[in-house]
Structure 1
Amino acid sequence: MTGRAEARIPFGAHAIPYAPGTLRPSGAPAAADRRVLEHYRRWKAYFLRSGDEAGGRGRCAVFTPDAAHPFVAEAQGYGLVITALMAGADPDAHALFDGILRHVLAHPSANHPDLHAAQQDADGRDVGGRDSATDGDLDIAYGLLLADRQWGGGHGGHGDHDEYDYEALAVRRIDAVMECEVHPTTRLTKLGDWSSGRYDEVSRTSDWMPDHFRAFRAATGDPRWDEVLDAHLSLAGELRARHAPATGLLPDFVVDTTSGEPRPAPGQVLESPHDGDYHWNACRDPWRLGADAVTSGDARTRAAARGLSRWARAATGGDPARIRSGYRLDGTAYGDPDSPAFFAPFAVAALTEGGGEGEGDEEAGAAQGWLDALWARMCASPPDPARAYAAGVRLQSMLVVSHNSWVP
């Protein structure tokens, strides 16, 4: 791939260490890297579309057969982060990143040119209002920062490829997120650039991405991102203490965020009657909290992730096959078992169970055994080509668990 920059932090180099005390799966790190690479190759084969299938020559897009539309913002954000982290192992990673970016830039939100229209149909047309989804924009901006650290700017130009200033694009998107997708008073993430009225008081916990907020602060120098980080971690702690003291689980959606008394959704506010439960959005929270804990060493996210891991280990008797796809905040299970979207994030949280003060050999061994069981479960089967969401969550969780994730 002439004209492409070499990866500065190649996959498998483990060049940026995690916080002291972070566990890792038993066995050789290289063996874990091979399992990640196997899943990545299948993820590419099943879910990456290019050319006319992605809206035109030179474009790529992540296909989501299980979503409301074939191409959604969340999946494009996942694709940018994944391809940036896999550079060095996949010689096409840089070109794939630029292809997905080209798709994103071709579909701006109707409300702000530096945000992404959240949904496209099979013909590449914006649908569903042409407005944004906050989680997609957060990951797109984060992926751009990873790309700048990985390849620098101005290395995309050859053949059908443009040159991109990844850092400039990232900062513009970060500023747009602050302007349109962060509440100016509470500093909590909103659902999208369309949120107003009663939706202005709703926040989705899976959009609470502490490592992203830290990276945005470093990239922009904007101190408001410190306020965003603190607001989310403070509210997460309050919710756990008041509504889930035995489990540490967070709900899909929080309501009344501007009233001074935020609480889990009391039923359906956006998606389903389970909006106030640990459901198909919040299942990502152990990954998001755990990823920050192991990369930043922040005691707040470490305590949150460790609590989730210990609850899940006790609730399942250390058997990942017993993790269910849905829980009330008190730990009552109601979902089916065996979705990677639910069990894989707990492996990220399990990384935080090492290095506890006063922890005996028996507890340390149980923690390591839990992580190893989760890792084995993650590696045991290939991704389902009909389940892009679960595949994306599992692959990104595997990147963190194998110590191949880093913050730009």
Structure 2
Amino acid sequence: MKRHRYQWVIGGLVLLVAFMVGLAVYQTQRRPKSLTTVNDDLIRVHYRQWQREYLSGQQQKFVLTRGAEHPQALSESQGYGMLITVLAAKHGMPTRQTFDQLVAYYLAHRVSPTNPLMAWRQKQVGQRMHSTPAEMTSATDGDLDIAYALILADDQWGSIGSVDYKGLAQQLIRAIKQYEINPVTQLPRVGNWATTPATQHLVRPSDLMTAYFRRFARYMQDGEWTQVALNSQTVLQKLSQQRSSGLMPDFTQVSGDHLTIRPVHARQVASPYDNQYGFNACRVPWRVAYDYQLSRSPVSRDVTAKMLAFFARQSRITAVYTLTGRPVETYPNQAFSAPVAYAAQVMGHQRLVTRYAPSLKRVGASNAYYPATLQMLLLLQSGELAHD
């Protein structure tokens, strides 16, 4: 049947309108409305308060993990501080000098002049921060965050100023690969010290930062990091499938080419929560959702969705769970709820967003380093979602 020209025009307009409506619905589902309230002004208020309470030092700055009367710093906290500071710059805050001061502290507390991994802990002795010989070993999670923050700084400011972010990042990534990646499993060890028969197979699931490994592969033009990313995804998938809750332990053991998983027991590594969803594993929803945000990996999607389904069934989120989903503690903690709130935003899980995202925006919601710092970091990453 022959159609008149105006009929083709009208038909085209109908299709265009349908496409625009569909796109609007998609964007609404992809980005929950509550994200639009994470604006630069709110982030500035949070950042200034976090900076006042937790940043210490003059020419070399570090993140306080204890009160000022007994200053203590960790490579973990240094990584968080560097991530927070460079992400704050993306929201219009003049933070480059502060970032460089954090870099200066990292450089002053490396394991050795020839090993750029950061010593895992420092305490104040006299007027300076000092690591004992036992503390002059690394913690892989801190090194990974420091390396990624240096890459983000290179993206943000370039590496032609007084600090060569790219050179430092590449140097650190090479050291992570040499000292902190298990050559058999191609998975991150818990630190450079984990090389004995009793420790070499230990894996901290929250260290399986697939998004970082993908970026390292591109940044270093090194395909071996792609294998680290793939193996990390395999282990996350296996751990997710072990329990209906989808929860993972603070530590597990992974060995062999086939990535065989064996459990650990309480106090085997660091705490009574070693074999539970504790203060390390609480970061897993954030780490895996971040990979899904950047890569749209179906593995990261499914692992995140299963954990969110568990938390959606809970009346509230408390600190520490058994892997079957039984609450171990009765008190709430932002270190557990903030990663869920962020993951819910990434996945568009509106029920959890409505319930927990407001706590990310509440100034003064936490009064301890770990939950307050995770809240600050995840508020910034939520802000990135709002600007996507």
The answer to whether the 8 Å contact 2:122/2:135 transfers is: no
Q: Which has the higher helix share?
A: 2
The answer to whether the 8 Å contact 1:76/1:140 transfers is: yes
Shift of 1:132: 0.9
2:354 maps to: 372
Q: Taking structure 2 as the reference length, what is the TM-score of the superposition?
A: 0.85
Shift of 1:66: 7.2
Moved more, 29-38 or 333-342: 29-38
1:121–1:29: structure 2 CA closer, same or farther, 3 Å change rule?
same
The answer to whether the 8 Å contact 2:308/2:344 transfers is: yes
The answer to whether the 8 Å contact 2:240/2:246 transfers is: yes
Task: Determine which of 116, 126, 133 is the counterpart of 2:131.
Answer: 126
| CA offset digits 1:77-123 (Å, max 9, x no partner) | 01111111111545431001000000000111149521111111123
1:105 maps to: 107
2:60 maps to: 59
| CA offset digits 1:47-72 (Å, max 9, x no partner) | 00122xxxxxx211111117996111
Are 1:337 and 2:355 matched, yes or no? no
Partners in 2 of 1:314 and 1:297 — Cα distance?
25
1:25–1:41: structure 2 CA closer, same or farther, 3 Å change rule?
farther
Partners in 1 of 2:101 and 2:108 — Cα distance?
11
Task: Determine which of 361, 367, 373 is the counterpart of 1:392.
Answer: 373
Shift of 1:25: 4.3
Shift of 1:273: 2.3
| CA offset digits 1:291-340 (Å, max 9, x no partner) | 11112211111111111112101123xxxxx1010111111111133210
Are 1:279 and 2:274 matched, yes or no? no
Partners in 2 of 1:44 and 1:405 — Cα distance?
23
The answer to whether the 8 Å contact 1:69/1:119 transfers is: no
Shift of 1:151: 0.1
The answer to whether the 8 Å contact 1:59/1:102 transfers is: yes
The answer to whether the 8 Å contact 2:319/2:331 transfers is: yes
2:135 is paired with a residue whose SS is: coil
Partners in 1 of 2:29 and 2:229 — Cα distance?
22
Count matched residues: 356
2:49 maps to: 42
1:15 maps to: none
Partners in 2 of 1:383 and 1:59 — Cα distance?
28
Moved more, 345-354 or 201-210: 345-354
Are 1:149 and 2:155 matched, yes or no? yes
Q: What pairs up with 1:248-397 in 2 under 5 angstroms?
A: 248-258=246-256, 260-316=259-315, 322-354=316-348, 367-385=349-367, 387-397=368-378
1:184–1:69: structure 2 CA closer, same or farther, 3 Å change rule?
farther
Partners in 2 of 1:185 and 1:111 — Cα distance?
28
2:278 is paired with a residue whose SS is: coil
| CA offset digits 1:217-256 (Å, max 9, x no partner) | 11101111111011111011112212x1x11111100124
Q: Taking structure 1 as the reference length, what is the TM-score of the superposition?
A: 0.81
Shift of 1:369: 3.2
The answer to whether the 8 Å contact 1:72/1:120 transfers is: yes
Identity %: 30
1:91–1:131: structure 2 CA closer, same or farther, 3 Å change rule?
same
* Structure 1 vs Structure 2 CA RMSD: 2.4
Please, which runs of 5 or more residues in structure 1 have no aligned partner? 1-18, 52-57, 156-162, 317-321, 355-366
Q: Which amino acid letter does the alignment assign opposite residue 249 of structure 1?
A: L
Q: Which amino acid letter does the alignment assign opposite residue 43 of structure 1?
A: W
Shift of 1:375: 1.0
1:403 maps to: 384
Q: What pairs up with 1:208-223 in 2 under 5 angstroms?
A: 208-223=208-223
Partners in 2 of 1:59 and 1:331 — Cα distance?
42
Q: Which amino acid letter does the alignment assign opposite residue 209 of structure 1?
A: M
The answer to whether the 8 Å contact 2:44/2:93 transfers is: no
Partners in 1 of 2:386 and 2:118 — Cα distance?
24
Moved more, 333-342 or 26-35: 26-35
Please, which runs of 5 or more residues in structure 2 have no aligned partner? 1-25
2:117 maps to: 115
1:375–1:260: structure 2 CA closer, same or farther, 3 Å change rule?
closer
Shift of 1:348: 1.9
The answer to whether the 8 Å contact 1:268/1:274 transfers is: yes
1:330–1:283: structure 2 CA closer, same or farther, 3 Å change rule?
same
The answer to whether the 8 Å contact 2:36/2:386 transfers is: no
Shift of 1:285: 0.4
Partners in 1 of 2:30 and 2:338 — Cα distance?
15
Q: Which amino acid letter does the alignment assign opposite residue 297 of structure 2?
A: D
Q: What pairs up with 1:58-77 in 2 under 5 angstroms?
A: 58-65=59-66, 70-77=72-79
